[in-house]
Structure 1
Amino acid sequence: MLCYAINVVQCRVLCDVILLILDIQNDNWMAGSPRDSGPMISKWEQLSLAPDLLRSLSKFGVGPPNKIQQRALPFLLRGADIIAQAPPTQERIAAYVIPAIQIAVTNISVRPPNRGPIVIMVSTTVDQATQAQRMIRDLGGPIGVRSALGVGATTNDLSQELRLLQQNMPHIICGTPQKLHALFTTPGGLVGSEVRFLVLDEVDQLIARNLHEFVFNIVKLLPPPRSRPLGPSTPTPGSTPGTISQSSFTSPFDSPNPGRRFSGLGPSPPAETNGTPQPIERQTALFSNTVPQDVLNLASAIQLREPVRVLVRRDGNVTHADTAQSSRGLRQFYLYLAFTAGGRSDPTAAAPGGGLGIIGSGRGASSAESAQAREWKLDALADLFDDVDVVQAVVHVGGMTALDSVVYKLASRGLEAVPLHGDMNAGTKLAALNKFRGASSMIMRQPAAKVLVVYDVQVKTPEVAHVPLIINYDLPKAVEEYAHRVAPAIASNYSRAGVIVNFVTATGGDVEMLRSIECFYKIKCPEVPMSLRDIV
């Protein structure tokens, strides 16, 4: 029933070889960006921060710089572009909020009134953008830095929002790619020629959700990247190991296939000088949970100049909740599907705008699987449910197209599939959860298993009682998300722990992500047995 993989022995050998290669690549990347890259700091006073900002940090009780701040801030405050890999935390947000406030404070008197923002922060999710704007409001507001939040629906009529922004122009604007794109590209929208600092957060997820086109269009409106060399105090290639020139750095993520790279944007429009001695130039900071090839491709496409590589290891840290998973005996497996894209082109995979931003190794790329491969994956999921006897299950998918396909496929097999996704309003989400928690339909002779098919929503344990089976049809895009997905399967005091099945395909970075999950949570997922009926 589950024989979609190649010979089991061959499959395991293949996986071991792939994981070994990934381990070697990770070691090589660490050799290129040493752990102690860049000057280390232990207190804010060691940085060249404005006195008002230092007082604000002290007033709000901000603790001493942590690992990501110690490594990123010295370079950002000197004007360097960076690519930083670190776990998504409040400390990571502070690592770009603090230099953003510093840049705003320094340039407030230079920027013409109501001309345009000085800093743009692009976050993949509303939550991340909101956290960044609140931090700017708390730290920068008392010292005269105005900020705004650009999230929500991108309606056709943005005139009211733009009018309010232009009446009290923010120095820093935070938002999601779609909304910021609308605010800057709408006729009469915000002006980007005064932007000195661009921040892209959660870049790997931004690419996986196919939002990079919005970023490309925004970047076209901004000043060009730095062209002149940084000051003598700034690290340069050869003087400090943390800074590595793009022309000389060879990353293990680099792809030999140029077709998998992002296309270049071409030269950016020149910025207005407004009488200043030198034209405005853009500094860019990329923060990401992981740094696959596509993140480096995007950095190249938006023309980062000699970016500093900053890496903060997770060091295998496991939170108390994560430890509880292991102690309560979650049974976690992987189902390897040994098929690839097969060479057939996927007409739905083409990106708008003439091919900019081709997704090659990024997770969630629709081009990674052919139509036939996706159909086989759906068949594998449906057959898995034929092999188990459960009352409830949760299936996590990586996109709306996958959600619709899974719901249709399961319904065609007689299962009661309930969709739940992030675009639903609160009432619709509650109705879906109530339907999943309620009794099965009595129209059928036998009660059908209820399957909650989830995309872009965090299903919390109080909302859903103990679930015996959770399937990651598409693996999460960040290892931290895995803990939230499997939480409903954790055993209560007197119940049996649930089963987790992770679908792993030969394309799209699934093997690497599974390896990251195993290392982060200190677990080992064996291959799924031929029959799950005895363990579910």
Structure 2
Amino acid sequence: MTFETLGLAPALLRALDEQGYTQPTPIQEQAIPLALEGHDLLAGAQTGTGKTAAFGLPLIQYLATTPQEVQRGAPRRPRALVLTPTRELAVQVHDSLRGYGKYLRIPSTTIYGGVGMGNQLDALRRGVDLVIACPGRLIDHLERRSVDLSGIEILVLDEADRMLDMGFLPSIKRILAKLPKQNRQTMLFSATFADPIRELALEFMREPKQIQVTPRNTVAETITHRVHPVDGSRKRDLLLHLLAQDSRLQTLVFARTKHGSDKLATFLEKSGIKTAAIHGNKSQGARQRALSDFKAGRINVLVATDIAARGIDIDQLPQVINFDLPMVAEDYVHRIGRTGRNGSTGQAISLVAQDEAKYLRAIVRLLNRDMDLRDVPGFEPQTPIRWGNSAPGKAELPGGERTPRRNGPQKHARRPHGDAPRHAHAGPKKHGGQRRDGGRSGGARQGQSRPAR
């Protein structure tokens, strides 16, 4: 299937062709025809599957081909509204939609916090057809009566699950109350469909068509997963060692806290690696400059927190490194979704200290897949990672069963090369039709081949 077969206008096809897009992704194949027919959509799609184009192309085509009824002398009201959880994602969506509609005249603007209202007010006074907004700042404009949403014909909720996670449900309901209930098309895109999202959909959507192209918590098969055990005190040095192997390689590094992001970025910058940090305490201008520099290759490493990284969309980003593992396993999926997009290959590396073993175990169980564990020569941890009675991803044995420890000291042969791979398995291996019992109680010896049993 090609974009030509989906019923898109020639001006959109021309813009897509210039950007090198020839084959629609699965979410685009399913969503675009339904959206062009005017159906409400409840679409399940992970970040990186092409969902922006899935709702953006039909939205632009509708605005370009359906004239607005405007009374003489009346101000121009927005006709389409896209709600996003973060300002970075709002900017990214706006840039993408402007690219798709470069041969069509669709006046648009973004509305988000962290910046002054002046430019936003000017754009709204001039009149726009399309608004991409974050809920909090849009509420501010509604309270000032600087935006009129009574003419909205298309509503898109992008990454609805993340908006609910961030506490935007009350704001979303306030915004929905300002929208016309009749003759409105609504499209909701979400990686997951928890009960609050389904309840919200039933409340404001009309017989939505449901699409699910990626099961919950799936990751691209083109991403390789590697884990480097390391003492927490040596994480920064190991990160620098890995980055220095190819200082030109663009890498997104995740840290757990804002303060930690700044310290890490400063350390890397002083070590000669072009680095910037992006998190919620940075001004919007600083965040946009850092993102722009990273996309343009002026900096090679971007250190980010989970929230700030939403909306980072870079074609063929080769590598994501988890300097700190996320405390919530699902956030690992969102993090590494920045790489391996649209069929390209990517690498996800995690630096794991002993106190993070429980987080790694939860991640492997969630993904239900093996991870490549390997020591980096010179950075083998002094304290071996202890998995308890099971390796990452393996269910605890029933009845508290454990493989008995041998008495007395044991000698273990090391591999000749310290970085030879091991694996953190997603589940127990089968052997001769029977499940193998137990795992090692205590720590896995570094440098050994260690199957997770």
TM-score w.r.t. the length of structure 1 is 0.50
CA displacement, residues 407-466 of structure 1 (integer Å, 9 cap, x when unaligned)? xxxxxxxxxxxxx98222279x99xxxxxxxxxxxxxxxxxxxxx9966356x9xxx999
What's the offset of the Cα at 1:391?
1.6
- Matched position secondary structure for 1:143: coil
Query: Which residue identity is paired with 2:193?
Result: V
Counterpart in 2 of 1:255?
none
Contact 1:120/1:198 (<8 A) preserved: yes
Q: In the alignment, is residue 525 of structure 1 matched against residue 402 of structure 2?
A: no
What's the offset of the Cα at 1:203?
1.1
Counterpart in 1 of 2:329?
475
Q: In the alignment, is residue 391 of structure 1 matched against residue 210 of structure 2?
A: no
CA displacement, residues 362-386 of structure 1 (integer Å, 9 cap, x when unaligned)? xxxxxxxxxxxxxxxxxxxxxxxxx
Distance 1:454 1:162 in 2: 27
Distance 1:391 1:66 in 2: 43
Question: Aligned ranges for residues 237-252 of structure 1 at < 5 Å?
Answer: none
What's the offset of the Cα at 1:172?
0.9
Counterpart in 2 of 1:27?
none
CA displacement, residues 462-502 of structure 1 (integer Å, 9 cap, x when unaligned)? xx9996xx453333446132578995645xxxxxx766434
Counterpart in 1 of 2:281?
424
CA displacement, residues 55-103 of structure 1 (integer Å, 9 cap, x when unaligned)? 4444544323221111011111111111111121262110011011012
**Aligned partner of 1:501 among 357, 366, 380:** 357
What's the offset of the Cα at 1:397?
9.5
**Aligned partner of 1:223 among 174, 180, 190:** 180
What's the offset of the Cα at 1:213?
1.7
Contact 1:68/1:91 (<8 A) preserved: yes
Contact 1:162/1:189 (<8 A) preserved: no
CA displacement, residues 289-313 of structure 1 (integer Å, 9 cap, x when unaligned)? 1222232122123x21111110112
Q: In the alignment, is residue 153 of structure 1 matched against residue 114 of structure 2?
A: yes
Question: Aligned ranges for residues 264-283 of structure 1 at < 5 Å?
Answer: 281-283=183-185
Gaps of 5+ in 1: 1-41, 226-280, 332-387, 404-419, 431-451, 491-496, 505-509
Contact 1:111/1:194 (<8 A) preserved: no
- Report the identity percentage: 22
Distance 1:206 1:69, change over 3 A: same
Counterpart in 2 of 1:306?
207
**Aligned partner of 1:131 among 92, 104, 110:** 92
Distance 1:104 1:521 in 2: 46
Counterpart in 1 of 2:129?
171
- Matched position secondary structure for 2:128: coil
Distance 1:479 1:455 in 2: 11
Query: Which residue identity is paired with 1:121?
Result: V
- Matched position secondary structure for 1:286: strand
Q: In the alignment, is residue 317 of structure 1 matched against residue 185 of structure 2?
A: no
Q: In the alignment, is residue 74 of structure 1 matched against residue 33 of structure 2?
A: yes
Distance 1:466 1:174 in 2: 30
Counterpart in 1 of 2:188?
286
Contact 1:201/1:287 (<8 A) preserved: yes
Relative contact order (alpha carbons < 8 A, sep ≥ 6): 1 or 2 greater?
A: 1
Query: Which residue identity is paired with 1:152?
Result: G
Q: CA RMSD in A?
A: 4.5
Contact 2:94/2:109 (<8 A) preserved: yes
Give the number of aligned pairs: 319
Q: In the alignment, is residue 206 of structure 1 matched against residue 163 of structure 2?
A: yes
Distance 2:228 2:338 in 1: 14
What's the offset of the Cα at 1:162?
4.8
Query: Which residue identity is paired with 1:194?
Result: G
Contact 2:44/2:189 (<8 A) preserved: yes
**Aligned partner of 1:106 among 65, 69, 77:** 65
What's the offset of the Cα at 1:125?
2.3
Distance 1:390 1:191, change over 3 A: closer
Distance 1:480 1:423, change over 3 A: closer
Q: In the alignment, is residue 83 of structure 1 matched against residue 60 of structure 2?
A: no
Query: Which residue identity is paired with 1:105?
Result: A
Distance 1:209 1:105 in 2: 33
What's the offset of the Cα at 1:51?
4.2
What's the offset of the Cα at 1:107?
3.1
Query: Which residue identity is paired with 2:111?
Result: G
Q: In the alignment, is residue 181 of structure 1 matched against residue 49 of structure 2?
A: no
- Matched position secondary structure for 1:456: helix
What's the offset of the Cα at 1:519?
4.7
Counterpart in 2 of 1:406?
none
What's the offset of the Cα at 1:143?
1.4
Contact 1:130/1:149 (<8 A) preserved: yes
Counterpart in 2 of 1:276?
none
Distance 1:43 1:62 in 2: 9
Counterpart in 2 of 1:438?
none
Gaps of 5+ in 2: 237-253, 261-276, 288-302, 313-319, 340-346, 374-391, 397-439, 448-453
Contact 1:472/1:502 (<8 A) preserved: no
